[in-house]
Structure 1
Amino acid sequence: MRERTIYFIFTDTGTYLSRMINLYTNQPLNHVSIGFDHELKEVYSFGRVNPKNPFSGGFVREDIRGEFLKHSKSAIYALNVTENEYLKIRHHVKDFESQASNYKYNFIGLLGVALKIEIHRKNAFFCSQFVATVMQGTDSFKLSKPTNFVTPSDIRENTELQLIYQGRLGDYPKHRLAEEVIDLPKDSLINLITKKVKRFI
Protein backbone atom coordinates (compact mmCIF):
# COMPACT_ATOMS: atom_id res chain seq x y z
CA MET A 1 0.00 0.00 0.00
CA ARG A 2 1.38 3.38 -1.00
CA GLU A 3 2.51 5.60 1.85
CA ARG A 4 2.46 9.39 2.11
CA THR A 5 4.07 11.64 4.70
CA ILE A 6 2.58 14.43 6.77
CA TYR A 7 4.51 16.71 9.12
CA PHE A 8 3.95 18.06 12.62
CA ILE A 9 5.72 21.33 13.39
CA PHE A 10 6.15 22.18 17.08
CA THR A 11 7.27 25.71 17.88
CA ASP A 12 7.89 28.19 20.67
CA THR A 13 7.42 31.74 19.41
CA GLY A 14 8.43 33.39 22.66
CA THR A 15 5.21 35.43 22.90
CA TYR A 16 3.56 36.21 26.24
CA LEU A 17 0.84 33.62 25.58
CA SER A 18 3.47 31.03 24.68
CA ARG A 19 5.40 31.77 27.88
CA MET A 20 2.26 31.46 29.99
CA ILE A 21 1.40 28.09 28.42
CA ASN A 22 4.99 26.90 28.89
CA LEU A 23 4.84 27.91 32.54
CA TYR A 24 1.60 26.00 33.09
CA THR A 25 2.48 22.84 31.13
CA ASN A 26 6.16 22.76 32.10
CA GLN A 27 6.70 21.61 28.50
CA PRO A 28 8.54 23.34 25.63
CA LEU A 29 7.20 23.99 22.11
CA ASN A 30 3.54 24.58 22.92
CA HIS A 31 2.33 25.39 19.43
CA VAL A 32 1.69 22.69 16.82
CA SER A 33 0.91 22.89 13.12
CA ILE A 34 0.35 20.30 10.39
CA GLY A 35 2.15 20.32 7.04
CA PHE A 36 1.82 18.39 3.80
CA ASP A 37 5.19 18.77 2.05
CA HIS A 38 8.80 18.25 3.17
CA GLU A 39 9.70 21.87 2.36
CA LEU A 40 6.86 23.03 4.64
CA LYS A 41 5.38 25.41 2.11
CA GLU A 42 1.90 24.23 3.08
CA VAL A 43 1.44 24.45 6.85
CA TYR A 44 -1.81 24.98 8.79
CA SER A 45 -2.86 25.61 12.36
CA PHE A 46 -4.93 27.82 14.65
CA GLY A 47 -3.02 30.86 15.79
CA ARG A 48 -2.61 34.56 15.10
CA VAL A 49 -4.36 35.77 11.96
CA ASN A 50 -2.49 39.05 12.41
CA PRO A 51 0.99 38.35 13.84
CA LYS A 52 1.03 41.79 15.54
CA ASN A 53 -2.26 41.18 17.34
CA PRO A 54 -2.28 38.34 19.90
CA PHE A 55 -6.09 38.42 20.05
CA SER A 56 -6.71 38.02 16.30
CA GLY A 57 -6.82 34.24 16.44
CA GLY A 58 -8.29 31.76 14.00
CA PHE A 59 -7.49 29.28 11.25
CA VAL A 60 -4.21 30.20 9.57
CA ARG A 61 -1.92 29.05 6.80
CA GLU A 62 1.48 29.65 8.32
CA ASP A 63 4.68 30.89 6.72
CA ILE A 64 7.63 29.26 8.49
CA ARG A 65 9.94 31.73 6.74
CA GLY A 66 7.95 34.77 7.84
CA GLU A 67 9.16 37.17 10.53
CA PHE A 68 6.79 35.81 13.16
CA LEU A 69 7.90 32.17 12.97
CA LYS A 70 11.38 31.98 11.48
CA HIS A 71 13.16 32.73 14.78
CA SER A 72 11.11 30.19 16.74
CA LYS A 73 12.61 27.18 18.47
CA SER A 74 11.18 24.14 16.72
CA ALA A 75 10.99 20.39 16.37
CA ILE A 76 9.64 18.81 13.19
CA TYR A 77 8.27 15.29 13.05
CA ALA A 78 7.19 13.12 10.13
CA LEU A 79 4.40 10.54 10.13
CA ASN A 80 3.80 7.99 7.39
CA VAL A 81 0.14 7.45 6.54
CA THR A 82 -1.70 5.59 3.82
CA GLU A 83 -2.79 7.33 0.64
CA ASN A 84 -6.43 7.23 1.75
CA GLU A 85 -5.58 8.66 5.17
CA TYR A 86 -3.51 11.42 3.57
CA LEU A 87 -6.35 12.42 1.26
CA LYS A 88 -8.86 12.35 4.12
CA ILE A 89 -6.70 14.55 6.36
CA ARG A 90 -5.93 16.96 3.55
CA HIS A 91 -9.60 17.20 2.60
CA HIS A 92 -10.52 17.93 6.23
CA VAL A 93 -7.96 20.76 6.40
CA LYS A 94 -9.20 22.18 3.09
CA ASP A 95 -12.73 22.25 4.53
CA PHE A 96 -11.40 24.42 7.36
CA GLU A 97 -9.60 26.64 4.87
CA SER A 98 -12.70 27.14 2.71
CA GLN A 99 -14.62 28.39 5.77
CA ALA A 100 -11.73 30.12 7.54
CA SER A 101 -13.71 33.30 8.25
CA ASN A 102 -16.20 31.28 10.33
CA TYR A 103 -13.56 30.02 12.77
CA LYS A 104 -11.96 31.63 15.80
CA TYR A 105 -9.26 30.75 18.30
CA ASN A 106 -10.49 28.82 21.31
CA PHE A 107 -9.00 30.85 24.19
CA ILE A 108 -11.75 29.61 26.53
CA GLY A 109 -10.92 26.04 25.55
CA LEU A 110 -7.35 26.55 26.80
CA LEU A 111 -8.81 27.49 30.17
CA GLY A 112 -10.86 24.29 30.06
CA VAL A 113 -7.70 22.23 29.55
CA ALA A 114 -6.06 23.96 32.52
CA LEU A 115 -9.09 23.37 34.76
CA LYS A 116 -9.82 19.91 33.34
CA ILE A 117 -13.31 21.04 32.34
CA GLU A 118 -14.70 19.83 29.01
CA ILE A 119 -15.76 22.92 27.07
CA HIS A 120 -17.38 22.58 23.65
CA ARG A 121 -17.47 25.69 21.46
CA LYS A 122 -18.79 25.81 17.93
CA ASN A 123 -16.21 26.74 15.29
CA ALA A 124 -13.49 27.48 17.87
CA PHE A 125 -10.21 25.58 18.16
CA PHE A 126 -6.78 25.93 19.68
CA CYS A 127 -3.79 24.56 17.75
CA SER A 128 -3.54 21.03 19.17
CA GLN A 129 -7.32 20.63 19.23
CA PHE A 130 -7.37 21.43 15.51
CA VAL A 131 -4.57 18.98 14.69
CA ALA A 132 -6.20 16.24 16.78
CA THR A 133 -9.53 16.90 15.06
CA VAL A 134 -8.21 16.55 11.51
CA MET A 135 -6.28 13.42 12.52
CA GLN A 136 -9.33 11.69 14.01
CA GLY A 137 -10.15 8.32 12.48
CA THR A 138 -6.59 7.81 11.25
CA ASP A 139 -5.29 4.33 12.07
CA SER A 140 -1.70 5.59 11.81
CA PHE A 141 -2.27 8.10 14.60
CA LYS A 142 -4.08 7.47 17.88
CA LEU A 143 -4.80 9.69 20.89
CA SER A 144 -6.34 8.58 24.17
CA LYS A 145 -7.98 11.94 25.00
CA PRO A 146 -10.93 13.88 23.59
CA THR A 147 -9.72 16.46 21.07
CA ASN A 148 -10.57 19.41 23.36
CA PHE A 149 -8.09 18.09 25.97
CA VAL A 150 -5.22 17.29 23.60
CA THR A 151 -2.04 19.33 24.10
CA PRO A 152 0.95 19.67 21.74
CA SER A 153 2.98 17.43 24.07
CA ASP A 154 0.30 14.69 23.76
CA ILE A 155 0.76 14.76 19.99
CA ARG A 156 4.54 14.89 20.23
CA GLU A 157 4.63 11.81 22.48
CA ASN A 158 3.00 9.64 19.80
CA THR A 159 5.47 6.83 19.16
CA GLU A 160 4.73 6.72 15.42
CA LEU A 161 6.22 10.19 14.89
CA GLN A 162 9.81 10.44 13.64
CA LEU A 163 11.91 13.47 14.58
CA ILE A 164 13.54 14.89 11.44
CA TYR A 165 14.72 18.31 12.61
CA GLN A 166 15.25 20.29 15.78
CA GLY A 167 16.47 23.88 15.91
CA ARG A 168 15.64 27.36 14.67
CA LEU A 169 12.64 27.07 12.36
CA GLY A 170 14.02 29.50 9.79
CA ASP A 171 17.04 27.25 9.27
CA TYR A 172 14.95 24.22 8.31
CA PRO A 173 14.99 24.73 4.51
CA LYS A 174 18.78 25.12 4.58
CA HIS A 175 18.99 21.90 6.60
CA ARG A 176 16.86 20.04 4.06
CA LEU A 177 18.85 21.37 1.09
CA ALA A 178 22.13 20.38 2.76
CA GLU A 179 20.80 16.86 3.33
CA GLU A 180 19.72 16.55 -0.30
CA VAL A 181 23.17 17.60 -1.58
CA ILE A 182 24.95 15.20 0.80
CA ASP A 183 22.71 12.32 -0.31
CA LEU A 184 23.39 12.89 -4.03
CA PRO A 185 25.51 10.28 -5.85
CA LYS A 186 29.02 11.50 -6.67
CA ASP A 187 28.30 11.93 -10.41
CA SER A 188 25.15 13.90 -9.70
CA LEU A 189 26.99 16.10 -7.23
CA ILE A 190 29.68 16.85 -9.85
CA ASN A 191 26.99 17.68 -12.42
CA LEU A 192 25.27 19.97 -9.91
CA ILE A 193 28.53 21.85 -9.20
CA THR A 194 29.29 22.09 -12.93
CA LYS A 195 25.88 23.65 -13.62
CA LYS A 196 26.41 26.18 -10.83
CA VAL A 197 29.85 27.13 -12.21
CA LYS A 198 28.53 27.55 -15.77
CA ARG A 199 26.09 30.19 -14.56
CA PHE A 200 29.02 32.45 -13.73
CA ILE A 201 30.97 31.86 -16.97
Structure 2
Amino acid sequence: MSVYVVLSRSSTVLSRTIRIATGDEYTHAALALDADLDLMFSFGRRRARNPFAGCFKRERLDDEVYRSMDALPGLVLEVPATPAQREAVGIEVGRFLLDGHTYSYNTPGLLRGLVGRGTEDGNRYFCSEFVYHVLRHAGLCDLGVPRWEVRPQTLRDVPGTVLFEGDLKQYATSRTGGGAASGSATAALTVDRTGVRIAA
Protein backbone atom coordinates (compact mmCIF):
# COMPACT_ATOMS: atom_id res chain seq x y z
CA MET A 1 0.00 0.00 0.00
CA SER A 2 1.10 3.58 -0.64
CA VAL A 3 0.21 7.23 -0.45
CA TYR A 4 1.56 9.86 -2.82
CA VAL A 5 3.22 13.23 -2.33
CA VAL A 6 2.66 15.48 -5.34
CA LEU A 7 4.98 18.45 -5.83
CA SER A 8 4.42 21.05 -8.51
CA ARG A 9 5.34 24.51 -9.75
CA SER A 10 2.70 26.67 -11.40
CA SER A 11 3.20 29.88 -13.36
CA THR A 12 1.38 32.09 -10.86
CA VAL A 13 2.94 35.22 -9.40
CA LEU A 14 3.00 33.64 -5.92
CA SER A 15 4.72 30.51 -7.20
CA ARG A 16 7.33 32.54 -9.05
CA THR A 17 7.90 34.69 -5.95
CA ILE A 18 8.43 31.63 -3.75
CA ARG A 19 10.86 30.17 -6.26
CA ILE A 20 12.88 33.39 -6.39
CA ALA A 21 12.91 33.68 -2.59
CA THR A 22 13.90 30.07 -1.93
CA GLY A 23 15.53 28.79 -5.12
CA ASP A 24 13.29 25.74 -4.84
CA GLU A 25 12.26 23.77 -7.90
CA TYR A 26 8.77 23.05 -6.55
CA THR A 27 6.48 25.52 -4.82
CA HIS A 28 3.28 23.56 -4.08
CA ALA A 29 2.57 20.23 -2.39
CA ALA A 30 -0.47 17.98 -2.23
CA LEU A 31 -1.21 14.54 -0.79
CA ALA A 32 -2.91 11.88 -2.91
CA LEU A 33 -4.43 8.63 -1.73
CA ASP A 34 -4.10 6.98 -5.15
CA ALA A 35 -1.57 6.88 -7.99
CA ASP A 36 -4.10 8.34 -10.45
CA LEU A 37 -4.32 11.45 -8.23
CA ASP A 38 -8.11 11.26 -8.17
CA LEU A 39 -8.08 11.65 -4.39
CA MET A 40 -5.61 14.53 -4.06
CA PHE A 41 -5.88 17.12 -1.30
CA SER A 42 -4.10 20.21 -0.03
CA PHE A 43 -4.47 23.78 1.11
CA GLY A 44 -4.70 26.07 -1.88
CA ARG A 45 -6.60 28.86 -3.55
CA ARG A 46 -10.31 29.14 -3.00
CA ARG A 47 -10.44 31.19 -6.22
CA ALA A 48 -7.88 31.00 -9.00
CA ARG A 49 -7.23 34.74 -9.15
CA ASN A 50 -6.77 35.31 -5.41
CA PRO A 51 -3.62 33.67 -3.97
CA PHE A 52 -4.33 34.79 -0.40
CA ALA A 53 -7.87 33.45 0.03
CA GLY A 54 -7.13 29.78 0.59
CA CYS A 55 -8.82 26.73 2.05
CA PHE A 56 -8.50 22.98 2.40
CA LYS A 57 -9.73 21.38 -0.80
CA ARG A 58 -9.71 18.47 -3.16
CA GLU A 59 -7.34 19.33 -5.98
CA ARG A 60 -7.34 18.38 -9.64
CA LEU A 61 -4.72 18.84 -12.32
CA ASP A 62 -7.30 20.56 -14.52
CA ASP A 63 -8.22 23.15 -11.86
CA GLU A 64 -8.54 26.68 -13.21
CA VAL A 65 -5.21 27.77 -11.80
CA TYR A 66 -3.44 25.15 -13.98
CA ARG A 67 -5.71 25.22 -17.02
CA SER A 68 -3.89 27.95 -18.93
CA MET A 69 -0.50 26.29 -18.51
CA ASP A 70 0.88 24.26 -21.40
CA ALA A 71 2.88 22.16 -18.94
CA LEU A 72 2.89 21.70 -15.16
CA PRO A 73 6.35 20.76 -13.84
CA GLY A 74 6.04 18.32 -11.00
CA LEU A 75 6.94 15.13 -9.21
CA VAL A 76 4.96 12.21 -7.81
CA LEU A 77 6.59 10.49 -4.84
CA GLU A 78 5.23 7.09 -3.84
CA VAL A 79 5.45 6.63 -0.08
CA PRO A 80 5.05 3.01 1.10
CA ALA A 81 2.58 2.54 3.93
CA THR A 82 1.31 -0.31 6.04
CA PRO A 83 -2.46 -0.88 6.00
CA ALA A 84 -2.69 0.84 9.40
CA GLN A 85 -0.69 3.84 8.19
CA ARG A 86 -2.74 4.10 5.00
CA GLU A 87 -5.92 3.99 7.06
CA ALA A 88 -4.56 6.70 9.39
CA VAL A 89 -3.87 8.96 6.41
CA GLY A 90 -7.39 8.47 5.06
CA ILE A 91 -8.96 9.16 8.44
CA GLU A 92 -6.94 12.35 8.93
CA VAL A 93 -7.79 13.63 5.44
CA GLY A 94 -11.43 12.82 6.12
CA ARG A 95 -11.25 14.80 9.35
CA PHE A 96 -9.95 17.83 7.48
CA LEU A 97 -12.79 17.51 4.96
CA LEU A 98 -15.49 17.10 7.58
CA ASP A 99 -14.16 19.92 9.75
CA GLY A 100 -13.01 22.12 6.87
CA HIS A 101 -14.77 25.20 8.26
CA THR A 102 -12.37 25.19 11.21
CA TYR A 103 -9.22 25.36 9.03
CA SER A 104 -7.82 28.21 6.99
CA TYR A 105 -4.84 28.94 4.79
CA ASN A 106 -1.75 29.99 6.73
CA THR A 107 -0.82 33.04 4.67
CA PRO A 108 1.04 34.76 7.56
CA GLY A 109 2.96 31.56 8.29
CA LEU A 110 3.90 31.16 4.63
CA LEU A 111 5.29 34.69 4.45
CA ARG A 112 7.09 34.44 7.81
CA GLY A 113 8.50 31.06 6.87
CA LEU A 114 10.15 32.51 3.78
CA VAL A 115 12.32 34.64 6.06
CA GLY A 116 12.88 31.90 8.64
CA ARG A 117 10.53 33.26 11.29
CA GLY A 118 7.55 30.96 11.02
CA THR A 119 5.52 29.46 13.83
CA GLU A 120 2.84 26.80 14.03
CA ASP A 121 -0.50 28.55 13.97
CA GLY A 122 -3.25 26.34 15.35
CA ASN A 123 -5.68 25.38 12.60
CA ARG A 124 -3.92 27.36 9.88
CA TYR A 125 -1.89 25.43 7.31
CA PHE A 126 -0.14 26.07 4.05
CA CYS A 127 0.20 23.25 1.55
CA SER A 128 3.42 21.56 2.66
CA GLU A 129 2.54 22.02 6.34
CA PHE A 130 -0.60 19.97 5.75
CA VAL A 131 1.14 17.21 3.81
CA TYR A 132 3.86 16.87 6.44
CA HIS A 133 1.34 16.97 9.29
CA VAL A 134 -0.63 14.04 7.85
CA LEU A 135 2.46 11.97 7.00
CA ARG A 136 3.94 12.50 10.46
CA HIS A 137 0.59 11.85 12.15
CA ALA A 138 0.40 8.49 10.35
CA GLY A 139 3.97 7.57 11.28
CA LEU A 140 5.21 7.70 7.68
CA CYS A 141 8.00 10.19 8.25
CA ASP A 142 9.59 12.54 10.73
CA LEU A 143 11.96 15.06 9.20
CA GLY A 144 12.98 16.37 12.61
CA VAL A 145 11.72 19.90 12.00
CA PRO A 146 8.55 21.79 12.96
CA ARG A 147 5.86 21.72 10.31
CA TRP A 148 6.26 25.42 9.44
CA GLU A 149 9.83 24.76 8.26
CA VAL A 150 8.67 22.20 5.70
CA ARG A 151 8.53 23.65 2.20
CA PRO A 152 7.32 21.62 -0.79
CA GLN A 153 10.94 21.01 -1.78
CA THR A 154 11.66 19.64 1.72
CA LEU A 155 9.17 16.83 1.10
CA ARG A 156 11.58 15.30 -1.40
CA ASP A 157 13.36 13.98 1.70
CA VAL A 158 10.35 11.84 2.66
CA PRO A 159 11.31 8.14 2.27
CA GLY A 160 9.79 6.87 -0.94
CA THR A 161 10.22 6.26 -4.66
CA VAL A 162 9.90 8.87 -7.39
CA LEU A 163 7.10 7.46 -9.50
CA PHE A 164 7.19 10.30 -12.02
CA GLU A 165 8.99 13.58 -12.61
CA GLY A 166 8.12 15.86 -15.50
CA ASP A 167 4.92 17.39 -16.86
CA LEU A 168 2.10 16.40 -14.51
CA LYS A 169 -0.42 17.03 -17.26
CA GLN A 170 1.24 14.28 -19.30
CA TYR A 171 1.27 12.05 -16.23
CA ALA A 172 -2.47 12.53 -15.77
CA THR A 173 -3.14 11.79 -19.42
CA SER A 174 -0.98 8.66 -19.35
CA ARG A 175 -2.83 7.36 -16.29
CA THR A 176 -6.31 7.98 -17.68
CA GLY A 177 -5.74 7.59 -21.40
CA GLY A 178 -7.65 10.78 -21.99
CA GLY A 179 -7.92 14.28 -20.64
CA ALA A 180 -6.31 15.95 -17.69
CA ALA A 181 -8.45 14.13 -15.18
CA SER A 182 -10.21 10.82 -15.06
CA GLY A 183 -13.93 10.39 -14.68
CA SER A 184 -13.62 9.54 -11.03
CA ALA A 185 -11.94 12.88 -10.40
CA THR A 186 -15.30 14.53 -10.98
CA ALA A 187 -17.24 11.97 -8.97
CA ALA A 188 -18.70 12.63 -5.56
CA LEU A 189 -16.76 11.61 -2.49
CA THR A 190 -17.89 9.59 0.46
CA VAL A 191 -16.39 11.09 3.61
CA ASP A 192 -16.84 9.97 7.20
CA ARG A 193 -14.74 9.46 10.30
CA THR A 194 -13.32 6.27 8.76
CA GLY A 195 -11.79 8.09 5.80
CA VAL A 196 -12.47 9.32 2.29
CA ARG A 197 -13.17 7.47 -0.97
CA ILE A 198 -14.90 7.78 -4.34
CA ALA A 199 -18.64 7.32 -3.91
CA ALA A 200 -19.94 4.01 -5.22
- Structure 1-normalised TM-score? 0.80
| Distance in structure 1 (CA, Å) of the matches to 2:168 and 2:124 | 27
Conserved? CA contact 2:6–2:76, under 8 Å: yes
**Match of 1:80?**
80
Native 8 Å contact 1:46 1:105 kept in 2: yes
Report the equivalent of 1:132: 132
> What CA distance in whole angstroms lies between the structure 2 residues aligned with 1:146 and 1:45?
18
Given the alignment, which residue of 62, 65, 68 partners 2:62?
A: 65
User: C-alpha separation between the residues in 2 aligned to 1:78 and 1:69?
Assistant: 22
Structure 1 gaps, min length 5: 179-201
Residue 42 of structure 2 corresponds to which residue in structure 1?
Answer: 45
Aligned-CA RMSD value: 1.7
Provide the rounded CA distance (Å) in 2 between the counterparts of 1:63 and 1:114.
Answer: 26
Q: Which residue of 2 aligns with 1:94?
A: 94
Q: Which stretches of structure 1, 4 residues or longer, exceed 3 Å deviation after superposition?
A: 137-140
Contact preservation (8 Å) 2:4, 2:77 = yes
- Taking structure 2 as the reference length, the TM-score comes to 0.80
Q: Is the 8 A contact 2:10 2:66 kept in 1?
A: yes
Matched, 1:21 2:15: no
Compared CA separation, residues 84 and 61, structure 1 to 2 (3 A): same
Question: Matched residues in 1 for 2:39 and 2:176: separation?
Answer: 17
Matched residue count: 174
Deviations 1:14-52 (A, max 9, x none): 111101110111011110000011111110001101123
> Residue 177 of structure 1: CA displacement?
5.4
Q: Distance in 2 between matches of 1:80 and 1:11?
A: 20
Alpha-carbon distance in structure 1 between the residues aligned to 2:85 and 2:117: 31
Say whether the 8 Å CA contact 2:45–2:52 is kept in structure 1.
yes
- How far 1:120 sits from its partner (Å)? 3.0
Give the letter for the 2:170 counterpart: D
Higher mean C-alpha deviation, range 168-177 or range 12-21:
168-177
Report the CA distance between 1:134 and its aligned residue: 0.9
Counterpart in the other structure of 1:142: 142
1:78-120 Cα distance to aligned partner (Å, 9 max, x none): 1111000111111111111112122211111112222322423
Structure 2 Cα separation of the partners of residues 115 and 27 of structure 1: 14
CA contact under 8 A between 1:69 and 1:169: conserved in structure 2?
no
Q: From the two aligned structures, give the one with the greater strand fraction.
A: 2
Q: Does the C-alpha gap of structure 1 residues 118 and 29 become closer, same or farther in structure 2, counting only changes over 3 Å? A: closer
**How far apart, CA to CA, are the structure 1 residues paired with 2:113 and 2:41?**
22
